[in-house]
A and B are shown apart, each in its own frame.
Chain A
């Protein structure tokens, strides 16, 4: 098999990404104005979709692939030596560049690799979410290989079944401990000093559990004393069922970042459309003459000082 080629996120492309993100809300406002008109043209279609989508999100989650396949430590070692060992050391013992991975457990490794945080594009860079780096099987191979180096100690890769979970309890816990950083809609937000609480809109069940139990980066660790396994599973149920498939019976979802986006739409689409209507209605219609006696429009503004051009008058009939 061909080793996956790391996609370096270069500085220019990051700058471009930032620009795109900057332009997105402006485009969104404009596009919404147009989109609203477009949507109004096809109400039966969107209506049919809406009507068919119940408030309860569907429980099918495609993201979690079964890890039932055989684990190959050899493949894991190959990939680890290629992409990880240069910083973390050949025995995952750590180096001046990167911390030791021993005793971290397969769950931690799985989270960091499957989320794309690791391997880093450039040593020392901030971990960013990347996709399509390794297949699910390869990720598990790496994680199990690293775990095997320290005798499989630490938190393993969890298998999460959602039978018997309660999204209601999950929502209550989510609002209490998760929403403060990840926001109540799971959109994610910026923490201090350039660190980010990531979006939860495309995470897997295993990742949620691994993150809660192992506390990656700046995230707190919620051990079994704080949340029982059942409570963690309830949160997982809420995240994969509701956060990832939220109910939007009201129409366009403005990114889940609250009233700022709504304010922009209200001002630019709402007030803006009304002002456009005022432009049309309030504008004086140019005169069309059948009794044409064409003459130049008087442009007698001149250099208008304070109150200039005030005294223009037309003789009465």
Chain B
């Protein structure tokens, strides 16, 4: 029972009636000039009739989407305004009320339900408790094993696929059209997206080949031979959220990720210098073969792309 007391709570069967004059203000329409509202609602309904009809006609004739849409909108809006103003202005304005029973039930109601449940349950179930247990076990086993086909068959386990890319020792750097890149192809200040020959267009093997200068670049101790004659390659997959780091700032020698603006400094081995990326872009060690082709000395020495649980930490 609500705190407002019970004297207002009528019985829902409606014994306690209230006599109201039909002239009561609650039954009056809200509009001060009902005729005017009637007229404008009438006009608006006519507008929507015309707009819907025009929609049909222009659809058959093949008008543009814009014409169709505007006609549809005019029809809908006219209809909506007319109907809503009918309800708002030309119907009894109230206020009316209805009784709201409290959600809390009485003690007797509760007791009755609980006792029904318990007493019947006692007779039917508790005496066969072992059946209930076995049934429970059967249900649980089904529930668990049902997950296997539901989830396990969706796709393969990650395995080692996240740790490696198709780059191999000796892989040719190949552009998207399958052309093996030579030193002559990449001018100073240029960049090309390249792939290993057997994975052209690969999402994880994509690599940016840059040529910022004509002499060897040493980004870090141990990478003395990785960028011969200034040809240098990094994984194009951002270490933050995996977007292609396709934005090469040639003058400042930085790579920017267009998704979340992580900035990588090329000369320090693509160390992140700004933004959310936590790790440098992996560098692909290059060599130039006798015919001038750019090739990989070795695969990437760490997993490319964003982090994951089993990636291990090298920091």
Q: Which of A's residues lie within 8 Å of B, judged by CB?
A: 39-40, 43-44, 46-47, 50-51, 176-177, 179-181, 189, 191-193, 195, 215, 217-226, 249-251, 277, 280-281, 285, 287-291, 311, 316-317
Contact = CB atoms under 8 A, between A and B. Distances in A.
Main secondary structure on A side of the interface with B:
loop
A315 B30 CA distance: 22
A280 B84 contact: yes
A285 B192 CA distance: 68
Contacts of A288: 30-32
Interface residues of B, number: 52
A189 B187 CA distance: 25
B205 to A, nearest CB: 16
A189 B249 CA distance: 13
23 contacts: A43-B66, A43-B70, A46-B66, A47-B63, A180-B258, A181-B247, A191-B249, A192-B274, A217-B251, A218-B249, A219-B250, A220-B248, A221-B188, A223-B186, A225-B182, A249-B64, A249-B66, A277-B84, A285-B31, A288-B30, A288-B32, A311-B4, A317-B20
Interface string B174-189: 0010000010111111
Given A180-B244, A221-B188, A287-B25, 4 more contacts: A40-B73, A215-B250, A223-B190, A287-B93
A281 B84 contact: yes
Nearest to B10: A316
Nearest to A222: B190
B250 A192 contact: no
B251 A39 contact: no
B89 A180 contact: no
Contacts of A287: 25, 30, 93
A225 B182 CA distance: 9
A225 B185 contact: yes
Contact of A50 (B28, B64, B88, B182): B64
A277 to B, nearest CB: 8
Contact of A225 (B67, B176, B187): B187
B185 A226 contact: yes
Contact of B88 (A40, A249, A281): A281
A220 B212 CA distance: 10
B45 interface: no
A51 B87 CA distance: 39
